[in-house]
Chains A and B, each alone.
Chain A
Amino acid sequence: MSDTTVEARGLDLVFGDVAALSEIDLTVARGDFVSLIGPSGCGKTSLLRVVADLAQPTGGTILVNGTTPHAARLARAYGYVFQAPALLPWRTVERNVTLPLEIIGLPKDERRARACQQLESVGLAAFARKFPWQLSGGMQQRASIARALSLQPSLLLMDEPFGALDEITRDGLNLRLLRLWEATNLTVLFVTHSIEEAAFLSSRIVVMSARPGRIVEVIESDLPRGRDLDIRDDASFHALAHRVRTALRAGHSYG
């Protein structure tokens, strides 16, 4: 397999007369943690949906794992984490995590074993039998991450997964996600509108501008691996956040 997970060339996406995406060139290497950041309406969610084959581009080419997004979806090559947990309220946490495994027709024992393992990795093993409404918002989103990982995909697509959570919960989840990424060879494509979140998590940050949605700058992070939350007080972190902010300003993202 190639070293590129996502390869987009000259990607366009037009809704009616709104250009959601325009001339997008993006390469995501295997094992990358790439954040898409930009003001609302810059097409970052649209780009993620094109990768996931939930939206069809109107121009350009895109390859996911070396195939079309459609083939990649049918091969269950990625896991998708939505803005909201989107857990099915009539299923327990465990049975929400096993849902994708049911769909691919895995036997029951293996489903349970895998769900157990995934819930362990997000720290929810003790809550397997609870229903979604019995969990806090942060725990629900962790369950939805476990669900996305249950198919053991090589690519994780995350659409502002922590946007609705309070800052303290979000810090905890960011750290958890970072450890998870470091422990596996997962490739992550992460949409956010928080500069701090992007700077803390990413190995590369893609800064986008709105109307039309295009890429302003791609910033390589020079922060070390194995970082923890304290790094946010370091000068290197501030420098990185400053570069992102400058790029956003260059894209006329402020006011």
Chain B
Amino acid sequence: MTRNALPLLFGVAVLLLWQAAVVGFDIPRILLPAPTEIFAALIADPSTLFADLNQTFFHSTLIGLGIGCASGFGAALLVDRSPFLRRGFVPLASLAGALPIVGIAPIAVMWFGFDWPSKAAVVAALTFFPSFVHTVAGLESVGALERDLMVSLAASRGQMLRKLQLPASLPFLFAALKVNSVLALTGAVVAEFFGTPTVGMGFRIATEAARMNIDRVWAMIFVVALCGSGSYAIIALAERRLAYRS
């Protein structure tokens, strides 16, 4: 417990100091609202909050994340069959992962409309590459001895995959999921900066910022942060239950 106490104490101290500074020095609210004001803004309009959450997190983010991870995984399984293709596609995919893919958001709007499907498409494109690269690395991570073992047992390709390669790549799949959960949320929020129906967390942040309602912006950022850390925590928990020690 003492291990958690120190960072907790630090967090509380920052909050208190923040509140005291904003009130004490009378900092303009447009620069920095007090934590209490942010909290008030957070609970002021729950129906809008839930609509935004539903749109951006439960539709754009999660559906896009699902599509991106699954297709990256599938593509990796295909490429794993040919060392030649693997050597060609993996460097390209790693490079693509470093490119500003969110920029396709306006294209996605033209293809899938203003509503959440276009955001989910951006999220899927963003999460595809980490999923692909990590899965390929995982399938390749099997040691030479273990591979020889399966060959000596005359195991079929499917058995090699199911009993050796997939279990061995579990840590890699979780790493991809962790990276992607944050990436997906960012992508869904940012894609809304390029145009959206009048709902969504990214839309809310952009419009409230333009209206100088900084307390509402902070409240929404708090919600986004909660979604991000929440999904990360769930994945980390699942990993601890499923992962093995070596």
A residues near B, CB below 8 A? 52-54, 73-74, 76, 78, 80, 82-84, 86, 88-90, 99-100, 102-103, 131-133, 151
> B163 within 8 Å of A by Cβ?
yes
B residues near A, CB below 8 A? 143, 145-146, 148-155, 159, 163-164, 167-168, 170, 244-246
Q: In the bound complex, do residue B246 and residue A80 qualify as a contact, i.e. CB atoms below 8 Å apart?
A: no
**Which one, A76, A83, A132, contacts B153 given CB within 8 A?**
A76
Instruction: List, sorted by A's number, 5 A–B pairs whose CB atoms are closer than 8 Å.
Output: A73-B151, A76-B153, A88-B146, A90-B168, A103-B154
Q: In the bound complex, do residue A73 and residue B244 qualify as a contact, i.e. CB atoms below 8 Å apart?
A: no
Nearest A residue to B170 by beta-carbon distance?
Answer: A90
Least distance between B92 CB and chain A CB atoms (Å): 30
Q: In the bound complex, do residue A80 and residue B245 qualify as a contact, i.e. CB atoms below 8 Å apart?
A: no
Q: In the bound complex, do residue B154 and residue A74 qualify as a contact, i.e. CB atoms below 8 Å apart?
A: yes
Chain A contact surface mostly = loop
Known: A82-B145, A89-B246; 10 extra A-B contacts, CB below 8 A, are A80-B149, A82-B149, A86-B146, A88-B146, A88-B168, A90-B167, A103-B153, A131-B245, A132-B246, A133-B245
Residues of A within 8 A of B145 (CB): 82-84, 86
> How far, in whole Å, are A89 and B244 apart by their CA atoms in the complex?
7
Q: In the bound complex, do residue A133 and residue B163 qualify as a contact, i.e. CB atoms below 8 Å apart?
A: no
Residues of B within 8 A of A100 (CB): 153
Q: In the bound complex, do residue A80 and residue B244 qualify as a contact, i.e. CB atoms below 8 Å apart?
A: no
Q: In the bound complex, do residue B246 and residue A133 qualify as a contact, i.e. CB atoms below 8 Å apart?
A: yes
Least distance between A133 CB and chain B CB atoms (Å): 5
Least distance between A39 CB and chain B CB atoms (Å): 22
Nearest A residue to B143 by beta-carbon distance?
Answer: A86
Residues of A within 8 A of B168 (CB): 88, 90
Residues of B within 8 A of A52 (CB): 152
> How far, in whole Å, are A71 and B154 apart by their CA atoms in the complex?
10
Nearest B residue to A132 by beta-carbon distance?
Answer: B246
Q: In the bound complex, do residue A73 and residue B163 qualify as a contact, i.e. CB atoms below 8 Å apart?
A: no
Q: Which of B148, B149, B151, B163 has the most CB of A within 10 A?
A: B149
Least distance between B133 CB and chain A CB atoms (Å): 22
> How far, in whole Å, are A241 and B198 apart by their CA atoms in the complex?
87
With A90-B244, A131-B244: A54-B152 Cβ-Cβ less than 8 Å: yes
**Which one, A88, A102, A131, contacts B167 given CB within 8 A?**
A88
> How far, in whole Å, are A151 and B152 apart by their CA atoms in the complex?
12
Q: In the bound complex, do residue A99 and residue B152 qualify as a contact, i.e. CB atoms below 8 Å apart?
A: no
Residues of B within 8 A of A73 (CB): 151-152, 154
Least distance between A27 CB and chain B CB atoms (Å): 22
Least distance between A93 CB and chain B CB atoms (Å): 13
> How far, in whole Å, are A74 and B153 apart by their CA atoms in the complex?
8
> How far, in whole Å, are A151 and B244 apart by their CA atoms in the complex?
26
Nearest B residue to A72 by beta-carbon distance?
Answer: B154
Least distance between B25 CB and chain A CB atoms (Å): 56
> How far, in whole Å, are A99 and B148 apart by their CA atoms in the complex?
14
Q: In the bound complex, do residue B149 and residue A102 qualify as a contact, i.e. CB atoms below 8 Å apart?
A: no
> How far, in whole Å, are A151 and B151 apart by their CA atoms in the complex?
15
Least distance between A81 CB and chain B CB atoms (Å): 10
> How far, in whole Å, are A54 and B150 apart by their CA atoms in the complex?
11
Nearest B residue to A133 by beta-carbon distance?
Answer: B245
